[in-house]
Structure 1
Amino acid sequence: MEFVILAVVIALVAVGVISGLVVGGRRKKQLPPPEAPTTTPTITAPPAEPRVGEEAETPRDEQRRAIEEVGLPTAEEAVETPAAIEDPVVAEPPVREVEIPAPTAGRLVRLRARLARSQNSLGKGLLTLLSRDNLDEETWEEIEDTLLTADVGVTPTQELVERLRERVRVLGTRTPDELRTLLREELLTLVGTDSDRSLKTEGGLETPGVVMVVGVNGTGKTTTTGKLARVLVADGRSVVLGAADTFRAAAADQLQTWGERVGARTVRGPEGGDPASIAYDAVKEGIAEGADVVLIDTAGRLHTKTGLMDELGKVKRVVEKHGPLDEVLLVLDATTGQNGLIQARVFAEVVDITGIVLTKLDGTAKGGIVIAVQRELGVPVKLVGLGEGPDDLAPFEPEAFVDALIGDPV
């Protein structure tokens, strides 16, 4: 029994010794020592946000600053009133300065001189022929050709030549002054000095004067309407413009620009809109504003006479719902000659023309168109345009026109 107990104790002691050896062996096992650093450690900045496409770029190291190195605004600078920066999107457009047109009387003197420089080749040619010692048939034929070339027209030319032949025969001897006086009298007879050439723009007690401007596109119709507004403003009248030429894209813009220059408002509508409706609104606005005159620019298409007649007739009827139409002015290009007469006939059939405006009368020797168109329509030339300037439109004066044609006496 004792032997068994002794064997158990020896076994427990042996187990304890073996366990101690294992634990001790584990404790003696060490990890290899860390290697010593060879350089100073660096701090790498965080990468920038990645970019794509054309914005992609090669990463680069950037110098970083401590917060102490960053400059901050002073207290005084921080409380200063911030400067206002104008936003170009919401900025108000510049206000156009209103012009003061030249007085009518002043421009007549200047335009008379310009007309004399450009037109007197007709008069000088006639005076040269009439001064010949022997006025034979060949000379009279040359006089006829000179008048026809100047667009005087066949019938007026024949009448003028017959009267000149008779008066020269009776006169006998002919001095230059006598010939000039003779020619001036006969030309004045053809042009006419007894016609009423004033513009009817008075209107009624509660309605403005209404003027409708007609003519073929390209004759300067819209420009003439704008220049006429300047003439009226120069005479102290207030004006409203009606842009009833809705078939030409730039017509309304062009007319509005003319109006803004003299402070006249323009009534317009959508491109391709109803011209009669715009004309009606223009007169309505003129009444509401108490304007003196309403100028209505109409379309100038001549594709079909029927369409033109319907359109202008409708404009006329609609305008007359407010009151009578005071003037219908036909704008003609003086350089078109006989083609201008054809246009005049068509418009005269469509609407009752009360006056003629001749444009581009400068730089041409064809001043005889004044005589021809008056004879054709039986209505007077009331205004003439003698240049491209804004104030180169003036009332027509027969005496000044004829004096310019024949030139000053030498």
Structure 2
Amino acid sequence: MNDILPIVLSILAAVLVIGALIPVLIKTRRNITRYPETRDANDPEVRSGGGTAVDDSTGTIELGTPGGAGPDVVDTTTVPDDAAGLETIPVETPLPVAGRLTRLRERLVRSNNIMGKGLLALLSSDRIDESVWDEVEETLLLADLGTEPTMQLVDALRERVKVLGTRTPEHVKAMLREELIKLVDPTMDRSLNVERHADKPAVMMVVGVNGVGKTTTVGKLARVLVAEDKDVLLGAADTFRAAAAEQLATWGQRVGVPTVKSDIDGADPASVAYEAVKAGIEQEVDVVMIDTAGRLQNKVGLMDELGKVKRVVEKLAEVDEVLLVLDATTGQNGLNQARVFSEVVNITGIVLTKLDGTAKGGIVVAIQRALGVPVKLVGLGEGADDLAPFDTESFVDALLN
């Protein structure tokens, strides 16, 4: 009996120790730890506003504390044990980019073939007189091609029709295809600058007015990059639109991509962008994508804001890509938005959303002519994977089929 007593006491002691440790371990696992601020407090453009919070349960990195914790404060906030109200978002596997191109081309054929079929019918007429050329010109203008590109295309077609003489539908289609491809310009570099540098990630800013699907486009583009095996981090620098940061974080969670955002309404966008790039450097990611605000009510304010975001980010890393998101259904009105943004930052590429439905295919040419930069990505629907790299020949073939 005396031999058994020490064993029993040892077992009881072990049970008590384990029982005491379990709550501590659970609490530690569920903590959201706010780390000390590391930004340069002497830099007037990088506003100090609390620490960086990493939530392991959502992959979201939050900046600042509601109480305005200073640079030297480490605040620990515990997630309640009852997490029944928290939404669990499963991680999805994005579709391969190659598969999207085929599907998007088919959708483009269905929605944008009025322009191509109209031109084919007109140019296949037995007799092409001035009234036919007027209709060709009108068809191109209605397709949002723009005045200058329309005149250029009509002149080229006139010359080729004279030389061609007899015209079969096949000849006309081949002629139109060649001239449209020239107009869309296959020589433009449509690749995304998303290759990681030796010691820093590639940095991409995404700009555009509110309502064009900018934040959604950032989320969809993150899926494109993840499908290409890129390690991505998102920065929610649109701090003025309600729920923009949460929307972006949700997109990130769907593909396992972390999001840096502020938990303070109206926080300094440049500060959020700075922290996103800093986190990207520390975590050695391939690409940091920064979503920005898009208010156009005050052009001067927008210029100052976007310019500041870019300057502050470049204290840490070069901005490799600035994508402008435009709604294709706005037609020529979208060109005015494009010009405003091109005055603010150096636009390197266009993302054209909603290129289905009422959108006109000619807007691709008009926008490229107006800005001198290529359309790099197109969106053709509401689906999460309805965004794909723009391909000149596929686009023209879709117009003519």
What is the TM-score normalised by the length of structure 2? 0.79
Measure how far apart 1:135 and its partner are.
Answer: 0.8
- More divergent stretch after superposition (397-406 vs 364-373): 364-373
Q: What is residue 380 of structure 1 aligned with on the other side?
A: 374
Give, in whole Å, the separation in 2 of the partners of 1:290 and 1:93.
29
Give, in whole Å, the separation in 1 of the partners of 2:276 and 2:116.
45
Q: What is residue 128 of structure 1 aligned with on the other side?
A: 121
Q: Is the 8 A contact 1:123 1:405 kept in 2?
A: yes
- The 1:365/1:345 distance shift into structure 2, 3 A limit, reads closer
Give, in whole Å, the separation in 1 of the partners of 2:228 and 2:302.
33
Equivalent positions of 1:6-405 (< 5 A) are 89=82, 93=86, 95-269=88-262, 270-364=264-358, 366-405=360-399
Give, in whole Å, the separation in 1 of the partners of 2:83 and 2:304.
45
Give, in whole Å, the separation in 1 of the partners of 2:240 and 2:287.
24
Give, in whole Å, the separation in 2 of the partners of 1:300 and 1:94.
29
In terms of fraction of residues, the more strand-rich structure is: 2
Measure how far apart 1:365 and its partner are.
Answer: 5.2
Per-residue CA shift, 1:30-72, capped at 9, x if unaligned? xxxxxxxxxxxxxxxxxxxxxxxxxxxxxxxxxxxxxxxxxxx
- Aligned residue for 2:319, secondary structure, equals coil
- The 1:365/1:308 distance shift into structure 2, 3 A limit, reads closer
Give, in whole Å, the separation in 2 of the partners of 1:93 and 1:272.
24
Give, in whole Å, the separation in 2 of the partners of 1:190 and 1:271.
45
Give, in whole Å, the separation in 2 of the partners of 1:201 and 1:336.
29
Give, in whole Å, the separation in 1 of the partners of 2:215 and 2:85.
29
Q: Any unmatched runs of 5+ in structure 1?
A: 1-86
- Aligned residue for 1:326, secondary structure, equals strand
What is the TM-score normalised by the length of structure 1? 0.77
Give, in whole Å, the separation in 2 of the partners of 1:367 and 1:222.
23
Measure how far apart 1:364 and its partner are.
Answer: 2.9
The number of aligned residues is: 321
- The 1:209/1:88 distance shift into structure 2, 3 A limit, reads closer
Give, in whole Å, the separation in 1 of the partners of 2:172 and 2:85.
65
Q: Is the 8 A contact 1:203 1:326 kept in 2?
A: no
Give, in whole Å, the separation in 2 of the partners of 1:108 and 1:226.
18
Measure how far apart 1:89 and its partner are.
Answer: 3.3
Q: Is the 8 A contact 2:328 2:359 kept in 1?
A: no
- Aligned residue for 2:243, secondary structure, equals helix
- Aligned residue for 1:126, secondary structure, equals helix
Per-residue CA shift, 1:339-391, capped at 9, x if unaligned? 10000000001110000000000123511000000000000000000000000
Q: What is residue 64 of structure 1 aligned with on the other side?
A: none
- Aligned residue for 1:367, secondary structure, equals coil
- Aligned residue for 1:249, secondary structure, equals coil
Q: Is the 8 A contact 1:122 1:365 kept in 2?
A: no
Give, in whole Å, the separation in 1 of the partners of 2:296 and 2:85.
42
Q: What is residue 4 of structure 1 aligned with on the other side?
A: none
Runs of 4+ in 1 over 2 A off after TM superposition: 87-96
- The 1:148/1:282 distance shift into structure 2, 3 A limit, reads same
Q: Is the 8 A contact 1:120 1:365 kept in 2?
A: no
* Counterpart residue type for residue 383 of structure 1: L
Measure how far apart 1:338 and its partner are.
Answer: 1.1
Give, in whole Å, the separation in 2 of the partners of 1:118 and 1:194.
26
Give, in whole Å, the separation in 2 of the partners of 1:344 and 1:365.
17
Q: What is residue 24 of structure 1 aligned with on the other side?
A: none
- Aligned residue for 1:379, secondary structure, equals coil
Give, in whole Å, the separation in 2 of the partners of 1:276 and 1:225.
18
* Counterpart residue type for residue 96 of structure 2: P
